[in-house]
Structures are given as structure tokens and as C-alpha cells.
């Protein structure tokens, strides 16, 4: 399974991990590996569900494995462009890691990476807002141009009506 995963054969690796889980259903490490592999293969819902269920299997709440699972679930939402959910998940993870008086080096590194991801999401959301505002301005400009064009056409039509009326008056 690890060989297939390292060769980016995620579907094959996921199947192998799932088969191993049949024999070891209570293994948090195997659940983590399977869930992460499912995320990598694009099976987001299935991978997230498995990683979420890891909390029930994990005999040591707040462990590195649980934090890694939370980190990967948050990342899957970011990858799917569900930035609000990703940001919320990363923020929750950062809070739980910050509350720990004694963090392992892995947890310290994860906290730093989590904070970095939150900043990246904030920047993306700000860019999206700017782009949205620019698009609104462009649409407003287009609407104004349309209105001006319609006004010109109305004026032309009024001029034609006036000419036609004057032409009829002369012929009478």
C-alpha cells in the first residue's frame, strides 16, 4: 500500500488499506492512512468520514494522529475551494493545539503550518472579494453603457417620429 501511495497510485493504495482494515478495524493508524489515501484519490466524502471517525477509534484524544487527521480534513476542504469550512477547521485545530501546555515538536510544526494555511485562506478570500467587487463595477459600467445606448436609441426614435410627423404635416 505504501509503495502504491508513494507512486501516486492512490486508488490502488486505498483498496489495499481498506483490505487491511478488514483484519484490523480498530487500528487508528490504518484508518488514518486509508482516509488520507482516499482524500488523495479524490474521494473526499469517504476520506473525510473515515478521518472523522478516527476520533472514536483513537485511544489518546489530542494525539498527533488526531491532529493530522483534522489537518488533512481541513486541507481537503481548501482543495475543494470550500474556503469558509477549511478556515473554520484550521482555526479549530489551531485553537486545540494552542491550548496544549506541552506540545510535541510535531504538534508545534503543525500549529505553525495551520496558522500559515489560515493566512493563505484569508488572502485568497480577500482576493476573491476584490475580484468580486471589480466584476460588480464592470457589470455596473456595462449596465450604464447599455442605458446610455438605449437613451441614444430613444432619442433617435424620437427624432424619426418628429421627422415623420413633420413630413406628414407638410403633405397635408
Q: What angle do CA 58, 62, 66 make, to 5 degrees?
A: 55
Residue 167's pLDDT is: 60
d(CA 162, CA 97): 78
pLDDT along the chain (172 residues), means of 10: 77 86 86 90 92 75 83 93 94 92 89 95 90 74 68 66 61 55
What pLDDT is stored for residue 89 in this prediction? 95
Predicted pLDDT of residue 104 = 86
43-50 own/partner pairs: CB under 8 Å, 24+ apart: 43/14, 44/76, 44/80, 47/72, 47/76, 48/73, 48/76
pLDDT, position 60: 60
User: Is residue 18 a contact partner of residue 34, using CB atoms and an 8 Å limit?
Assistant: yes
Looking at residue 44, its pLDDT comes to 93
Amino acid at each position: 500500500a505504501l509503495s502504491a501511495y508513494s507512486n501516486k497510485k492512490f486508488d490502488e493504495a486505498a483498496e489495499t488499506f481498506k483490505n487491511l482494515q478488514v483484519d484490523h478495524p480498530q487500528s487508528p493508524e490504518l484508518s488514518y492512512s486509508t482516509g488520507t489515501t482516499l482524500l488523495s484519490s479524490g474521494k473526499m466524502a469517504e476520506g473525510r468520514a473515515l478521518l472523522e471517525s478516527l476520533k472514536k477509534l483513537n485511544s489518546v484524544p489530542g494525539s498527533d494522529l488526531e491532529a493530522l487527521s483534522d489537518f488533512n480534513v481541513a486541507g481537503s476542504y481548501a482543495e475543494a475551494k470550500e474556503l469558509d469550512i477549511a478556515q473554520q477547521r484550521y482555526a479549530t485545530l489551531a485553537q486545540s493545539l494552542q491550548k496544549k501546555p506541552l506540545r510535541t515538536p510535531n504538534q508545534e510544526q503543525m500549529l505553525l503550518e495551520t496558522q500559515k494555511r489560515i493566512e493563505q485562506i484569508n488572502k485568497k478570500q480577500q482576493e476573491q472579494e476584490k475580484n468580486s467587487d471589480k466584476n460588480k463595477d464592470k457589470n455596473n459600467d456595462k449596465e450604464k453603457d447599455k442605458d446610455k445606448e438605449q437613451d441614444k436609441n430613444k432619442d433617435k426614435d424620437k427624432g424619426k417620429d418628429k421627422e415623420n410627423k413633420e413630413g406628414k404635416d407638410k403633405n397635408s
